[in-house]
Structure 1
Amino acid sequence: MRLRTEQLAAHLAQGPLLPVYLISGDEPLLAQEAADAIRGAARGQGFSERELLHAETGFDWDTVLTEANSLSLFAARKIIELRIPNGKPGDKGSKVLQQYTANPSPDNLLLVITPKLESAATRSKWVKSIETTGAFIQVWPVPPEQLASWIGKRLQQANIQASRQAVDVLADRVEGNLLAAVQEIEKLKLLLPDAEVDAATMSTVVADSARFNVFSLVDKALEGDAQTASRTLRGLRDEGTEATVILWALARELRTLIKAKEALAAGDHLDWVLKNLAVWEKRKGLVKTALKRLSLNQLQQMLRLAGGIDRAIKGMRTANPWDDLGTLTLMFCGRAVLQSANLRLALKD
């Protein structure tokens, strides 16, 4: 079956879980919340152990079947969480997933997490096998015209009374970054637990919390302002911002630019491309500037570096993620960087 994220809670409350779930999408907050909901429901049904697998280059796909067949010393039932960073299991992975879904163990729950799958991938045999045995949850970004409504509902869930103007202020500031919106709402719960939030208060709270903010870093990188972008990155690091949040923001822009470049190469008009990619009106100038400055090859190389940074953050590659984020930021700004041995290692597939 296929489920929308808003259908998931009702599905999980209905009864026994399905043996397999696939979560796919590029909106990290909603994907994370969907995964958390499934894990929580699984724990409530006795799946007390969790095995995490990363299907990256060199991954042994037989590990999935080995884990499925191995007996746990500590728990009767376990979650096997399989993350596929590029969303492409390949022939071997596809066969393993089809084999698993053909005869899933009642003592295991397989949770597969991928980025957004392209249309052709959603019709592949491995996805269809999961749909037949379990559930496929496609996570879609909140459209710009619905963001204020989404934020309003989140504020209500947090028991925060906010005027429509205050909601609009927050929606305008986060520019589609749902994770940032939720972080600001959590901040409001701490700072103003009983107050009604108006537009002026919202502006003050959000501005005070964002002296060095991720959005500014991304904008300066798109603009090509290497000095300010680097200073902002240092400020974020010094203020304790997680490298994962910064990497997500930069990687999201990279994917947008790559999709735009590919569409332009196919003959599409730039304005139509930006509209189709849901680029906010006031950011179109920044995106156009970056598209003129950076080639498709450069953007793809930067995305590969982002993958290397992700592995470093997870401890799967020996490198300082902040140093590599600095390199990525400079590359974003169009500055030449030394191809050090460490950078070449990060760029390897």
Structure 2
Amino acid sequence: MGCNPNVNISPEHLNAALEKRLGALYVLVGDEALLLDEARQAVLSQARKFEVGERLRFEADARFDWHSLTHISANLSLFAERRLIDLRIPAGKPGKEGADFLKSLAASQSQASHSPTDIWVISLPKLDLATQKTVWFTTLSQAATTVIFWPVPLRDLPRWIEHRGRAVGLQLDPDAAKLIADRVEGNLLAAKQELDKLSLLDLPNPISAVSLLTTIMDQSRFNPFDLGDALLAGDRARAAHLLARLREEGAEVILILWVLSRELRLLASLDDPAAVERLPVPKGRKPLYARAARRAPSAHWLKLLGRCAQIDRSIKGVAQGEPWQMLDRVMLAACGGGQGARSGARAG
């Protein structure tokens, strides 16, 4: 352990870097609270291997007394024990006194000998370009091991969930990871909590979206898969009843949308009679899909899938519309099939 070189590492390489060498100054930058907290815990865990027992935490807001940190940094704790000093600057704006302190801290780290020193972990939010170019930040980052945590794009979240699942013993199918991603809407902490709960259930691997949904809805009186059965049977009355009951029970609309989209996607794939044999469903259910597919051509099911995409955008707040009402309309259209089937139903 000693003073830090100017090192920028990616988050996924932090643990390996800590195993090789414990530095004296770490700067963590980003808005993902879960990832920053895990990085702080990783530094703390490695520090304890070097008998760093005391941890001091400070949150520097606009009224923070930077002189108190100057006093702390100038004096090792009683009996010269090394400490981990966890400094968080939530606004990313330390002010003049804070900037001066951080520049001084960086200079002291650069000039430090190889004797034991305190370990500093400084957490900052995502910084704009102007802040990144300030003297205090460039000086600090040049003296530190700097880790920048970028947001996980929504398109990459299922892969992130699959990777995190493996770390807790879960083998998630891509569809299952996508289902979790849709539920948490980009919230990494919520995704972690979902995975932690699943890891306690001792589910057989690999975990499919169907088994995941069954587990989620296990306590519900009405099962979303019953809604899929009503769609395949073309039973409008039962579909409307089930949808209403699921809504009353507080079922997550994203889960209902997943079931509906799955059935429509399977029906849209049945563009020839032989295609039913290739469906990834139990053999006993294949005749249900074959009969449902005869109600309308593939184009009809694809059109309804497009409306499901609109519902998804509505759930996420990027499009107008009330998701449950939109679900009801799509479900009724799916039960009726194409225009000819709907006309026949009215005539009957």
In which range does the TM-score fall when normalised by the shorter chain? 0.5 to 0.7
Distance across 2 between alignment mates of 1:284 and 1:124:
40
Tell me how far 1:196 sits from its aligned partner. Answer: 3.6
Q: Contact conserved, 1:19 with 1:110, CA < 8 A, in 2?
A: yes
Shift of residue 193, structure 1, vs aligned partner: 4.6
2:277: which partner in 1?
A: none
Question: Which of the numbers 111, 121, 132 marks the counterpart of 2:131?
Answer: 121
How far apart are residue 57 of structure 1 and its match?
A: 2.3
Select the residue among 83, 87, 91 that pairs with 1:82.
87
Distance in 2 (CA, whole Å) between partners of 1:100 and 1:110 is 9
Change in Cα spacing, 1:41 to 1:203, as seen in structure 2 (3 Å) is: same
1:283-322 matches, cutoff 5 A: 286=317
Q: Partners in 1 of 2:316 and 2:207 — Cα distance?
A: 32
Q: Kindly report which structure 2 residues correspond to 1:180-259, keeping only aligned pairs within 5 A, or say none.
A: 180-206=190-216
Q: Which residue of 1 aligns with 2:64?
A: 59
8 Å Cα contact 2:76-2:82 kept in structure 1: no
**Equivalences, count:** 220
Structure 1 stretches lacking a partner, 5+ long: 211-231, 233-279, 290-349
Equivalent residues of 1:77, 1:108 under 8 A apart = yes
Report deviation, 1:165: 1.8
Deviation at 1:288, TM superposition (A): 7.2
User: What SS does structure 1 have at the residue aligned with 2:78?
Assistant: coil
Deviates more, 1:103-112 or 1:180-189: 103-112
Give me the whole-angstrom Cα distance separating, in 1, the residues matched to 2:211 and 2:25: 45
Q: 1:208 to 1:62 in 2, by over 3 A?
A: farther
* C-alpha distance in structure 1 between counterparts of 2:8 and 2:75, whole Å: 29
- Deviations, residues 73-117 of structure 1 (Å, cap 9, x unaligned): 366100111111111001111111111111136421111112111
Distance 1:176 1:125, change over 3 A: same
The separation in 2 between residues aligned to 1:153 and 1:13, in whole angstroms, is 21
Correspondence 1:46 to 2:51: yes
- Report the counterpart of residue 14 of structure 1 in structure 2: 20
In structure 2, runs of 5+ residues without a counterpart are 1-6, 221-249, 251-310, 321-348
Quote the offset at 1:286 in angstroms: 2.6
Moved more, 189-198 or 167-176: 189-198
Among candidates 73, 85, 89, match of residue 78 of structure 2: 73
1:179 aligns with 2:185: no
The alignment-based identity, stated in percent, is 35
Letter of the 2:34 counterpart:
L
Q: Which amino acid aligns with 1:3?
A: I
* CA–CA distance in structure 2, aligned partners of residues 206 and 44 of structure 1: 40
The yes-or-no answer on 1:2 pairing with 2:8 is yes
The superposition leaves residues 307-328 of structure 1 with CA deviations (integer Å, 9 ceiling, x where unpaired) of xxxxxxxxxxxxxxxxxxxxxx
Change (3 A) 1:162 1:73: same
Relative distance call for 1:12 and 1:58 in structure 2 (3 A) is same
Give 1:70 shift: 2.4
Aligned CA distance change for structure 1 residues 99 and 281 (closer, same or farther; 3 Å): farther
- Of the three residues 108, 111, 115, the one matched with 2:121 is 111
Give 3-state SS (helix, strand or coil) of 1:159's partner: coil
Taking the aligned partners of 1:49 and 1:12, their CA distance within structure 2 comes to 19
Q: What SS does structure 2 have at the residue aligned with 1:191?
A: coil
Q: Does the Cα contact within 8 Å between 1:19 and 1:133 map onto a contact in 2?
A: no
SS in structure 1 at match of 2:64 = coil
| Letter matched to residue 197 of structure 2 | K
Q: What is the root-mean-square deviation in Å for CA atoms of aligned residues? A: 2.5
1:136 aligns with 2:154: no
Q: Which amino acid aligns with 2:107?
A: A
User: 1: CA distance between counterparts of 2:131 and 2:177?
Assistant: 37
Q: 1:37 aligns with which of 27, 35, 42?
A: 42
Asked if structure 2 preserves the Cα contact closer than 8 Å seen for 1:170 and 1:206, the reply is: no
| TM-score normalised by length of structure 1 | 0.58
